[in-house]
């Protein structure tokens, strides 16, 4: 996660700054490169914020369109990643507000359960030590975690996603959400308490699953 943290990488920041300069002089290839560099993180974040599906595609694209039209206002005081997350976050919050008054969203639980490595449904377990039951349990847990995160208020969900999944620092998150670092910590704590409460029935299974997950990651390295 830490190695994935693009926002803190000096070389990445320099490259981003150079690309932004080129974008400002109407270099379409440079903006294409910006999209290529950041699309995975922005897309992942948007999917976690609003759920996977065509709306997420749309919002992720809109994030970059908005970034393109607002490049003149990007002063470079924050990293490009932070700025993109800020745009994406605002778009997602607006979208969810609109959706509250519109028809309910069909959550793609299948996608949430079997989202790893682009699978669309259950497949053979990768580890021979894992049986179908363990795989099914992990799938159910993933669905529950997804639902619990989805049920969090927007402000709390955004902080959890940025900290746990995107690996941003408190300082970077405070730039994204536009509030002091103390508020970020407070929101993170509230989010953890809410998640623990929502997943209380699964905490034992979660502890087992996460330790197995950590073991697998360790052995893979």
Partner 1 sequence: MMRPAPCRRVQRRLDDFAAGSLPAGEAWKVQQHLAACAKCAQTLNDFGALRTAASMLEPEAPPPGFEDAVMCRIVAQGLRGTPWLVRFRWAALTAPVALALALGLLVPRPEPTRTLRSVAAAPIDVGVTRASGRLAVAASDPLADLAAANLVELDGAAVGANRDADL
Question: Residue 97: which region, alpha, beta or left (left: phi > 0; alpha: psi -120 to 50)?
Answer: alpha
Q: CA 146, CA 139: separation in Å to the nearest integer?
A: 10
Asked whether position 44 contacts partner 1 by CB under 8 A, the answer is yes
Asked whether position 199 contacts partner 1 by CB under 8 A, the answer is yes
Site string for partner 1, 118-137 (x = CB under 8 A): x-------------------
H-type alpha helices, the chain: 10-24, 28-50, 54-69, 80-100, 109-113, 132-151, 154-160, 170-177, 181-198, 203-220
Query: Among the candidate windows 12-20, 99-107, 129-137, 201-209, which touches partner 1 by CB under 8 A?
Result: 201-209
Asked whether position 161 contacts partner 1 by CB under 8 A, the answer is yes
Asked whether position 1 contacts partner 1 by CB under 8 A, the answer is yes
For the chain, the maximum distance between any two Cα atoms, rounded to a whole number of angstroms, is: 56
Cβ 106 to partner 1, closest distance in Å?
16
Among 60, 88, 156, 177, binds partner 1 (CB under 8 A): 60
Burial class (CB in 10 A: 0-12, 13-18, 19+), 34: buried
Asked whether position 116 contacts partner 1 by CB under 8 A, the answer is yes
Count CB neighbours of 17 within 10 A. Answer: 14
Burial class (CB in 10 A: 0-12, 13-18, 19+), 157: buried
The secondary structure of 180-197, three-state, reads CHHHHHHHHHHHHHHHHH
Name the nearest CA neighbour of 138 among 157, 115, 160. 115
Query: Among the candidate windows 45-53, 83-91, 92-100, 121-129, which touches partner 1 by CB under 8 A?
Result: 45-53
Q: Which residue has the tokens 């795989």?
A: 135
Size of the site for partner 1 (CB under 8 A): 54
Specify the residue, 35 or 77, whose C-beta has the smaller distance to partner 1. Answer: 35
Cβ 161 to partner 1, closest distance in Å?
8
Cβ 170 to partner 1, closest distance in Å?
9
Asked whether position 213 contacts partner 1 by CB under 8 A, the answer is yes
Contact positions toward partner 1, by CB under 8 A?
1, 28, 31-32, 35-36, 39-40, 43-44, 47-48, 52, 56-57, 60-62, 64-65, 68-69, 111-112, 115-118, 138, 141-142, 145-146, 149, 160-161, 163-165, 185-186, 188-189, 192, 195-196, 199, 203, 206-207, 209-210, 213-214
């Amino acid at each position: 996660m830490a190695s994935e943290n693009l926002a803190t990488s000096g070389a990445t920041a320099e490259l981003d700054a150079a690309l932004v300069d080129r974008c400002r002089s109407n270099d379409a290839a440079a903006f294409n490169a910006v999209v290529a560099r950041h699309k995975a993180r922005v897309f992942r974040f948007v999917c976690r914020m609003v759920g996977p599906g065509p709306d997420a595609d749309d919002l992720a694209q809109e994030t970059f369109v908005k970034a393109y039209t607002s490049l003149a206002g990007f002063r470079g005081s924050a990293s490009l990643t932070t700025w993109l997350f800020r745009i994406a976050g605002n778009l997602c919050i607006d979208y969810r507000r609109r959706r509250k008054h519109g028809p309910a969203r069909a959550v793609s639980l299948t996608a949430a359960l079997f989202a790893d490595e682009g699978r669309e449904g259950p497949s053979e377990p990768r580890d021979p030590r894992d049986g179908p039951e363990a795989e099914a349990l992990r799938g159910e847990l993933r669905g529950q975690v997804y639902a619990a995160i989805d049920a969090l208020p927007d402000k709390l969900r955004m902080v959890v996603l940025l900290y746990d999944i995107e690996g941003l620092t408190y300082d970077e998150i405070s730039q994204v959400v536009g509030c002091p670092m103390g508020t970020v910590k407070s929101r993170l704590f509230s989010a953890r308490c809410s998640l623990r409460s929502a997943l209380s029935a699964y905490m034992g299974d979660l502890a087992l699953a996460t330790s197995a997950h950590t073991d697998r990651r360790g052995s893979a390295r």
